[in-house]
Amino acid sequence: MVGFVSFVGSGPGDPDLLTLKAVNRLKTADVVLFDDLSSGPILDYVSSSADLLGVGKRAGRASPKQDHVSQLLVDYASENVKVVRLKSGDPAIFGRLEEELTALRAHKIPFEIIPGVTAGSAAAAAANIPLTRRLAARRVQFFTGHDIAGTLPEDLNIKALCDPTCTSVIYMPKRTFPKLAQLLISHGLDPNTPALLAESVSLSTQELKHGTLASLAQDLTNEITTAPGVILLGPLSDTPQL
């Protein structure tokens, strides 16, 4: 017999944004493997008898290797227990979900995926703006600002990223945003395109910085904090123009 793995999205950090199903799985789990951004008060829902293992990955810090995390899931589930893999945001959006699903499927271990509030949606909500706007923003695109080496991906679809009628949400963006902004501007995107940097979304330390493509790139050239953040770029309603 084997156990069962629940991939649970913890949202951006505020426990009030957890789904009811997520809370239920946390309460009944025997083992919880959690990301750094899924710790704190969210873990208060976990039973005191459950095992807790931190397996989060943060840029610039020593982190467990992905194959090690995947093997932990297999090992625990093979002991016929209920395992929760608690991922920040939504498990399916830049959450390294595919590698872990592949490991479970290889060992015929059953699983489920419980979605969570992704940081892009939470950032828009925190700033009181929509991600789509009738006529002005008909499309939304999520993409990552760095590749496996921590640099700007070389295979970005620049034409799509320069679409002025699209809202772009950039994950893990801060270190590479100045280079990205230079690239976008050189391909025709207006330097005055509204931009929003949202850090520590939904937490007491939340910071929202409104600006433009050019001004935010300059700010991030001068200073980068360690707080997790996303950048929204495009026709953002009610965003002050600098």
Domain-by-domain residue ranges, the chain?
Answer: 4-114, 119-233
- Please report how the helices 177-186 and 213-222 are oriented relative to each other, as an axis angle in degrees rounded to 10: 150
**CA 15 and chain centroid, separation:** 16
**CB distance 210 to 196 below 8 Å:** yes
Residues forming the active site: 35, 57
Q: What is the pLDDT along the chain (242 residues), one digit of tens a residue?
A: 689 999 999 999 999 999 999 999 999 999 999 998 888 899 999 999 999 999 986 655 556 889 999 999 999 999 999 999 999 999 999 999 999 999 999 999 999 999 999 999 999 999 999 999 988 898 999 999 998 888 999 999 999 999 999 999 999 999 999 999 999 999 999 999 999 999 999 999 999 999 999 999 999 999 899 999 999 999 996 544 43
Strand (E) or helix (H) holding 121: helix 119-126
Tokens for 61?
């810090």
Tokens for 186?
């050189």
- SS3 of residue 105 by DSSP: helix
| DSSP letter (8 states) at residue 240 | P
What is d(CA 130, CA 237) in angstroms, rounded to the nearest whole number? 7
**CB distance 210 to 239 below 8 Å:** yes
pLDDT at residue 129 in the model: 94
pLDDT at residue 62 in the model: 58
> Is the entire prediction scored with pTM above 0.85?
yes
Half-sphere exposure of 232 (CA within 13 A, CB side): 32
What is d(CA 29, CA 125) in angstroms, rounded to the nearest whole number? 30
- Please name the CATH architecture into which domain 119-233 falls: 2-Layer Sandwich (3.30)
In CATH terms, the fold of domain 4-114 is Cobalt-precorrin-4 Transmethylase; domain 1 (3.40.1010)
**CB distance 85 to 7 below 8 Å:** yes
| DSSP letter (8 states) at residue 50 | S
